[in-house]
Amino acid sequence: DIVLTQSPDSLGVSLGERATIKCKSSQSLLYNANTKNYLAWYQQKPGQPPKLLFYWASTRESGVPDRFSASGSGTDFTLTITNLQAEDVAVYYCKQYYDVPITFGPGTTVDI
Amino acid sequence: EVQLVQSAAVLKKPGESLKISCTVSGYRFANYWVGWVRQTPAKGLEWLAIIYPGDSDIKYHPSFQGRVTISADKSISTAYLEWSSLEASDTAMYYCARRGATNGVDRGGFDLWGPGTLVTVSS
């Protein structure tokens, strides 16, 4: 199975500041045939299902504010939240869909 | 409205059988993969299985194959996850989710999620 690790486990950020979350994969998620990275990012708030933020590592899902950005390739990926808002308090997960089984990272908790 | 509606929470005993459902509306059920993901405090988010209702193509997590069965009924736009013999370790919140696609091209992420079905297995 492909293992995803995330860092940090949790971080506290002041309103208006930047939060940076890392996701590292045990093997490359870059499929050379189409040059796509098979990685997605999700946000989960208490009592809610996860919400898709990005797919193909950096393609923003419709409706996601542009203060969220994502980057990376191969085995190393980053989710960045600039100008953090109170509603961004949540747990953030990366997920790989390069291979079966699909696997998720352990999550990073972002709070104020 | 595009949505996934899941069956209600359930309390079962070890050894009992269970089938939970996910009924979709607002889009063509046959044209999108639907998967099941469970969540526990101990193990976080775990993907179990996925089905393409159009042709019943199925993929299982090897760790769950044989323990759960995924299926779909196109006539009522509903996907299912089934156990023949529950164990306490199956206690979790179970989500169904649609794998996104644009013009038939897979986008990879689960773009729509149901609200979850809480399954509790306890004697």
pLDDT digit string, tens, across residues B60-85: 999 999 999 999 999 999 999 999 99
Tell me how far apart the alpha carbons of residues B109 and A38 are, in angstroms, rounded to a whole number: 9
- The pLDDT confidence band at residue B106, using thresholds 50, 70 and 90, is confident
Question: Which residues have a Cβ under 8 Å from the Cβ of A6 and sit 6 or more positions away?
Answer: A21, A22, A23, A24, A92, A93, A94, A105, A106, A107, A108
Instruction: Please answer yes or no on whether A55 and B109 come within 8 Å at the CB atom.
Output: yes
Q: Which pLDDT band holds residue B104 (cuts at 50, 70, 90)?
A: confident
Q: Residues of chain A whose C-beta is under 8 A from some C-beta in B?
A: 38, 40, 42, 49-52, 54-56, 59, 61, 93, 95, 97, 100-104, 106-107
pLDDT of residue B103: 81
Per-residue pLDDT tens digits for A86-98: 999 999 999 999 9
Judged by CB atoms closer than 8 Å, whether chains meet at B110 and A50 is answered as yes
- Tell me the average pLDDT across B54-64: 95
- Given this model, what pLDDT does residue B3 score? 95
Res A70: pLDDT: 98
E strand segments, A2-112: 4-7, 10-12, 19-25, 30-31, 36-37, 39-44, 51-55, 59-60, 68-73, 76-81, 90-96, 103-104, 108-111
Mean pLDDT of A76-82: 97
What would the mean pLDDT of B10-15 be, rounded to a whole number? 97
Residue B59 has pLDDT above 90, yes or no: yes
| Interface touch A50/B95, C-beta < 8 Å | yes
In chain A, pLDDT over 90 holds for what percent of residues? 99
Which residue matches tokens 């193909």? A56
Give me the mean pLDDT over the B53-57 stretch: 94
**Per-residue pLDDT tens for A37-51?**
999 999 999 999 999
Q: CB–CB of B45 and A59 under 8 A?
A: no
